[in-house]
Amino acid sequence: MPRATRIARTSREGVLLLEEHRDREIDELWLDHDLGGDDSIMPVVAVLERAAFDGRPFRIGMIFVHSADPSGAETVVRVLKRWNYPVRRATA
């Protein structure tokens, strides 16, 4: 049975959603760099990075980064690859 799709529209919601799923496997995680206004996905990326640094990376099948901001998307991909997360850039 497929798992439910959950959507977070702010970095704060994204961090809370990750924390809620801390001990569960996440099939796919889709990240958009620019979330509106001054908000970006980087606080969520920091949570993923910290978990890997602490030796407890999140169990994620694949992280897809989609964004109209090419440099922001590349930053996210670069940071997550550094911590051996399975990540790829999704293009339209």
Sign of the C-alpha dihedral computed for residues 62, 20, 35 and 4 taken in this order: positive
Domain ranges of the chain: 11-89
Task: Report the mean per-residue pLDDT for the chain.
Answer: 92
CA 59 vs CA 25, 32, 34, 36: distances in Å: 5, 19, 24, 27
Kindly indicate the confidence band of residue 5, based on its pLDDT and cuts at 50, 70 and 90.
Answer: confident
Instruction: Name residues whose C-beta falls within 8 Å of residue 64's C-beta, 6 or more positions apart in sequence.
Output: 28, 29, 30, 31, 87, 88, 89, 90
The residue among 50, 59, 55 whose CA lies nearest residue 22 is 59
- H or E segment at 62? strand 60-65
Percent of the chain exceeding pLDDT 90 equals 74
Record the tokens describing residue 25, joined without a space: 């496997």
Q: Is the pLDDT of residue 92 over 70?
A: no
Cα 21 to chain centroid distance, Å, stands at: 12
Residue range 57-73, pLDDT digits in tens = 999 999 999 988 889 99
